[in-house]
Amino acid sequence: MAEKIPTRSVTTTQEKSVTEERVREEEKQFRAAPKLDKSPLHGLWALTNRDLVKWYKNPIQLIISLIQPIVWLGLFGKALNFGSFISSSVPPSQQAAVYERFFGVSSYFSFLSVGMLSFIILFTAAFSGMSVVWDRRFGFLNKALSTPVGRGAIVIAKILQGVIRSLIQAAIVLIIAVALGMETSHLSVVTILGGFTVLFLMSFGLSSLFVMLALRSSDWQTQMAIINLLNLPLLFASNAILPVTIMPNWLQTVVKFNPVSYANDATRQLLIGSTQHLAPLWMDFGVLIGFAGVLAVISIVMSWRLLSK
Amino acid sequence: MASQESVSVETENYSQRPVIVKAENLSKTFGTLKAVDGVSFEIREGEIFGFLGPNGAGKSTTINMLTTLLRPSGGKAEITGIDIHKHPNEVRRNVGVVPQEYTADEDLTGLQNIILCGDLYGIPRSNTNPHAKELLKLVELEDAADRKVSTFSGGMRRRLELACGLINYPRLLFLDEPTLGLDVQTRAAVWQYIKMLKEEYHMTLFLTTHYLEEADSLCDRIAIIDHGHIIKIGTPAQLKESVGGDIITIGVAEVLPDISSDIAKINLVKDVKKNGNQYRIKAEIGEEASIQVIDVVRSKGLHVTTISLTKPTLDEAYLELTGRTLREEESNKMSMMSQRITMRRARS
C-alpha cells in the first residue's frame, strides 16, 4: 500500500525556533503535570462507554440480536397454540380457566413474551464475556492493565456495558411484544420499573458470571462453547418458555435452583399479573439480589487475581 | 557514523545522569520454564536502551514485569526510584507503554483512542483534549484524527500507539518491538519519531527488538539477551569491538618477501594472516592502522595494489556472543499467534 511517509526535513533556523518553542511549551506542561484522578473507579465510564459506542455505532449488531426473540415470539409463541389441544366444544370460559391454571394468565403469548425478556438478557449478558476475550486477544486488555486504571474498574465496566445493553434490548423486546398482542392491562409505570429492576439484578448477576469466566481466556471458541453450555440449560431448565407445573418433578427441582426462574416469576407477577407463582415477590427479589451481589463480588475479587499474573 | 570517541564521551555523560530504571536480579518463571533468569541493568535518564535477542529470549517478559503486567518471581526493580512491586500504580503513572500489538480500538477514531488512554490514566479531559490533538500532530496523524482506526495502515497504527503511549507525559517510554511487521520505509519513519522523542523531549526510552540494524541505529546501549540471561551490555561500538576489531585486507604486488612480522609490530594490529599476495589484518582502529600498514609495506619497497577496511557489524558481534545468528525461533503458541495478528494488521 502506498503511504506517504512523513519525513522530517532539515530544519531551517526559523523552523528550529518554532520547534524550540514547542519543546519549551511541552516541558512547561510536563512540569505542570495534570492533577490525576486517583480514585479506584476512575476510567470506569470511559471503558463502559467504549463498548457502548462500538455497539450503538453498529446498528446491524443490534438488529441481529433482536431478530432472535422476535422469531421466538412471532413464530414459536404464535405456533404453540395451546388452545387447539382443547376440544372446541369446551366453552371459552373453561378454556380460559385451563390457561389460567397452566400459565397464570389468559394467553400463552403473554406468558412467553415476559419469558423472552429474560431470554434476551441471558443471551446479551452471555456475550458480554466475549468482548473480554477480544480485548485480551487484541492487546487492549494489556494496554488498560499498564495504566493505573483500577483492575476492578476494568471488570465492572465490562459488566455494566452488558447490563446496559441487555436492558435496552429488553425494553425493545417488550415494545415488540406489546405490538404483537401481549396483554397490557397490568402495565403501569410502577410495574415496568419493578420489572426492570428485576431484569437489572438478573443481568448484573449473569454478566458478572460470564465476564468472570472470560477473564482468563484468550480463545473465543472456548468462550463460545462455555456460553452454549450454560445458556441453553439456564433457559430450558427455567420457566421462561414453559410453565413449571407441566415439568417432571426432578426438573421442577432444578428450576427452583435456577436464578433465571425467579426473574421470570417476578416479572410475570409484575408485568402480566400472573396468578401462578414459584415464590412470593419479596422472595424473588431476595434471591436475585443475593445472586447479583454474590457474583459481582466474586468477579471483582477474581479480577484482582486473574488480571495480574 | 559516530566515531568511537564521541560515543564514549556520550556514555560518560549518561553515567552522570539520574538512574531511571534499576533492575536487580529480576526473574520470571512460568512453571518450569525460566523465561527471565536474573537480569540486572541500569538505564540512565535520556538514554535509548535496547534489549536485543531472538523471539522467546525474555525481552517481552522483562518489559511486562517492568510495566507491572507480570509479577516478578524474583529480584526487584525500581522505576524512577519507585519499587514496581510495592507501588505498581505509581509506576504506571510515570511510564508510557507502546505494546507489540496494535491495541487501538478499530471502531473508534484516532482521537477517541488517545482520549480513552488519557481517561484510563485519570487525566482530566481539560488537559487531555488539547494534548491529544498535539500528540496527533506530533506523529503527523492530525488529518486522520477523526477517521476510524480500521481504515489506518500499519504505519499509521504504529504512530497512533506511539501517541497513546505519550498521553500521560511519561518520563520513560517502553517500546516492545516497535517496528515489527513494518516495511522498510515505514520502519525508518518510526525510527525518526523515536530519535525525536529522545532529542527534542529528552525522554528515556527502553525498547526491545530482534532487528540488529534497529538496535544499532537507535540505541545508546544494548543488552544482548538470550535464554533469559543478559549476555553482554554495551554501546553498539563496544559490542562490535568485542568481536576483535576491524579487518584490513591489503593486496601487495609482490608475493615475497613475507612482511607479516613487520606488520604485526604496529601497535594497533592484533593479528596478521598472509594468503598469497594478500594480508588479512585484524586491527583496533582500522582507519589509523591501515595508513600505518601502507607505510610499512612501502618502507619495505613493496607496492600496494588494493586495500579495504571492514568494520565489524553487530551481526558478527551477536554471532560471536551467542554462538548463533539472530533468527526467528519457535516461541510459545500464544505469542506467535498475537505476533501473527500484529504482522497481518501491519500489512493491511
B137-175 pLDDT per residue, tens: 988 899 999 999 999 988 899 899 999 999 998 989 999
Contacts A19 to B, Cβ<8 Å: 200
In which band, very low, low, confident or very high, does the pLDDT at A28 lie, cut at 50, 70 and 90?
very low
User: Looking at per-residue confidence, does B303 or B313 come out higher?
Assistant: B303
B23-65 pLDDT per residue, tens: 999 999 988 888 899 999 999 998 999 998 887 788 889 999 9
Question: Would you state the pLDDT for residue A309?
Answer: 59
Phi, psi of B209 (to 5 degrees): -160, 155
Question: Would you state the pLDDT for residue A74?
Answer: 82
A75-96 pLDDT per residue, tens: 887 777 676 676 667 777 777 7
Number of folded domains that form chain A = 1
Give CATH superfamily name and number for B4-240+324-347. P-loop containing nucleotide triphosphate hydrolases (3.40.50.300)
Q: Decide: B248 and B307 in contact? Cβ < 8 Å.
A: yes
Interface residue B60 vs chain A (CB under 8 A): no
Write b or e for each residue in B192-225: b if 16 or more Cβ atoms lie within 10 A of its Cβ, otherwise e.
Answer: ebbeebbeebebbbbbbbbbbebbbebbbbbbbb
Contact A19 B200 (CB under 8 A): yes
Find the residue in B nearest to A140 (Cα): B103
Best residue of A20, A146, A309 to probe chain B, by most B CBs closer than 10 Å:
A146
B55-96 pLDDT per residue, tens: 778 888 999 999 999 999 999 999 999 999 999 999 999 999
Interface size A-B, in CB pairs within 8 Å, comes to: 112
Give the domain B244-311 fold.
Alpha-Beta Plaits (3.30.70)
Name every residue whose Cβ is closer than 8 Å to that of residue B285 and which is 6 or more positions away in sequence. B4, B246, B268
A19, A146, A309 ranked by CB distance to B92: nearest: A146
- CA B34/CA B228 separation, integer angstroms: 7
In which band, very low, low, confident or very high, does the pLDDT at A20 lie, cut at 50, 70 and 90?
low
Region of poorest pLDDT, from A158-172, A270-284, B151-165, B276-290: B276-290
Smallest CA–CA distance, residue B131 to chain A, in Å, is 10
Restricting to B residues 165-184, those with a Cβ less than 8 Å away from any Cβ of A are: 168-169
In percent, the amount of chain B with pLDDT more than 90 equals 33
pLDDT above 60: residue B107: yes
Name every residue whose Cβ is closer than 8 Å to that of residue B319 and which is 6 or more positions away in sequence. B325
In terms of Cα–Cα distance, which of B332, B273, B255 is closest to B55?
B332
Interface residue B70 vs chain A (CB under 8 A): yes
Per domain, the residue ranges of chain B are 4-240+324-347, 244-311
Are domains B4-240+324-347 and B244-311 of this chain identical in fold? no
Question: Would you state the pLDDT for residue B221?
Answer: 93
User: Looking at per-residue confidence, does A22 or B129 come out higher?
Assistant: B129
A260-292 pLDDT per residue, tens: 999 999 999 999 988 778 889 899 999 999 999
In which band, very low, low, confident or very high, does the pLDDT at B260 lie, cut at 50, 70 and 90?
confident
Question: Would you state the pLDDT for residue A139?
Answer: 84
pLDDT above 90: residue A31: no
pLDDT above 50: residue B2: no
* Other CB atoms within 10 Å distance of the CB of residue A160: 23
User: What domain range is A171 assigned to?
Assistant: 44-306
Contacts A36 to B, Cβ<8 Å: 93, 121-123
A33, A50, A53 ranked by CB distance to B169: nearest: A33
Mean pLDDT for all residues in chain B = 84
**CA B1 and chain centroid, separation:** 16
Q: Decide: A132 and A215 in contact? Cβ < 8 Å.
A: yes
User: Whose grid coordinates read 422469531?
Assistant: A71
Question: Would you state the pLDDT for residue A10?
Answer: 44
Best residue of B120, B129, B139, B159 to probe chain A, by most A CBs closer than 10 Å:
B120
Best residue of B86, B87, B113, B116 to probe chain A, by most A CBs closer than 10 Å:
B116
B122, B186, B192 ranked by CB distance to A37: nearest: B122
Question: Would you state the pLDDT for residue A192?
Answer: 94
Indicate left, alpha or beta for B56 from its phi (over 0: left) and psi (-120 to 50: alpha).
Answer: left
pLDDT above 50: residue A1: no
pLDDT above 70: residue A304: yes
Q: What average pLDDT does range B194-204 have in this prediction? A: 87
Provide Rg for chain A, Cα atoms: 25
B4-29 pLDDT per residue, tens: 444 444 444 677 888 999 999 999 99
Question: Would you state the pLDDT for residue B333?
Answer: 56
Q: Is residue A32 part of a domain?
A: no
Burial class from Cβ neighbours inside 10 Å (0-12, 13-18, 19+) for residue A187 reads middle
A29, A146, A147 ranked by CB distance to B169: nearest: A29
Region of poorest pLDDT, from A4-18, A44-58, A284-298, B223-237: A4-18
In terms of Cα–Cα distance, which of B295, B303, B259 is closest to B279?
B259
User: Whose grid coordinates read 516478578?
Assistant: B72
A121-147 pLDDT per residue, tens: 998 898 888 888 888 888 898 899 999
